[in-house]
Amino acid sequence: MRFGILVFPGTWSERDCYHALTECMGQDAEYVWHRETDVSRFDCLVLPGGFSYGDYLRCGAIARFSPVMDEVRRHAAAGRLVIGICNGFQILCEAGLLPGALMRNRSLQFRCEWIHLRTETTASPFTSAAATRQVLRIPIAHGEGSYFADAATLARLQDEERVAFRYCDAMGAITEAANPNGSLANIAGVLGVNRNVLGMMPHPERASELLMGGTDGTVIWRSMIESLVRIT
């Protein structure tokens, strides 16, 4: 499979994603500069973490206007996979490809630590290789990761099984203490309407080899790769 890893001014996690996909997962990957206007050669687009455009105005608020984002919208509308990680999640929300918004952490502190996630659905190309309610240990690194949406949107996400991950404790319990940033309903990742777009705050690329502390992130990459194989 061929992955396109988008790079905006200020992106800083593109190399981590490239390493995870090529060295850990054995896939083809290529960096895609934000001015690119043709991404048709890719099966999946990855919007990595970082501080696109210095996070001026709001995180992702300027990146949403980059030329490549029109291609991301077309890519998603065609049913192809798009994953936004951390700042990538923020950009997808700003671009209207995912509902809700990411706000300042409840603590008003940048949080960089390993946390636990509970897989809330396996009915997506990003979680299909996971076990039901499987707990994953994956790191976070963000200052504005508190997920917010109005009550109607939260209810719709729940009813349509579009909450992909929730912050939990090591045993899978959804608790206030396990929530690192104050996200509503402990939400750590959500799916788009057609389930082919995922945004998540934790970094699966940093949990893709034992040398870095764990391999639980490969569940997400493996789900995507296996899903792409099934549809090609």
For the chain, domain boundaries: 2-231
Q: How far is CA 44 from CA 28, 86, 151, 157, 177, in A?
A: 11, 17, 31, 23, 34
- Apex 112 CA angle, 169 and 179, nearest 5: 30
CATH superfamily for 2-231 is Class I glutamine amidotransferase (GATase) domain (3.40.50.880)
**14 backbone dihedrals φ, ψ, rounded to 5°:** -65, -35
| pLDDT tier for residue 193 given thresholds of 50, 70 and 90 | very high
Please state, in angstroms and rounded to a whole number, the distance separating the CA atoms of residues 85 and 75. Answer: 17
- Once rounded to an integer, what is the mean pLDDT over residues 94-103? 98
Q: Which residues are catalytic?
A: 86, 203, 205
Query: Residue 207 has which token pair?
Result: 């949990």
What is the residue-averaged pLDDT of the chain? 96
Torsions phi, psi for 151 (to 5 deg): -60, -40
pLDDT beyond 80 at 232: no
Tens digit of pLDDT for each residue in 14-49?
A: 999 999 999 999 999 999 999 999 999 999 999 999
C-alpha dihedral, 54 to 55 to 60 to 64, nearest 10°: -50
Please tell me the predicted confidence (pLDDT) of residue 133. 97
Whether the Cβ atoms of residue 36 and residue 45 lie closer than 8 Å to each other: no
∠ CA 27-187-71, nearest 5°, is: 45
Task: Encode pLDDT of 104-126 as tens digits.
Answer: 999 999 999 999 999 999 999 99
Phi/psi for 63 (5° steps) reads -60, -30
CA separation, residue 40 to residues 2, 44, 81, 199 (Å): 10, 10, 12, 21
Could you tell me the pTM of the whole model?
Answer: 0.96
Q: Taking a C-beta distance cutoff of 8 angstroms, is the pair 141, 105 a contact?
A: no
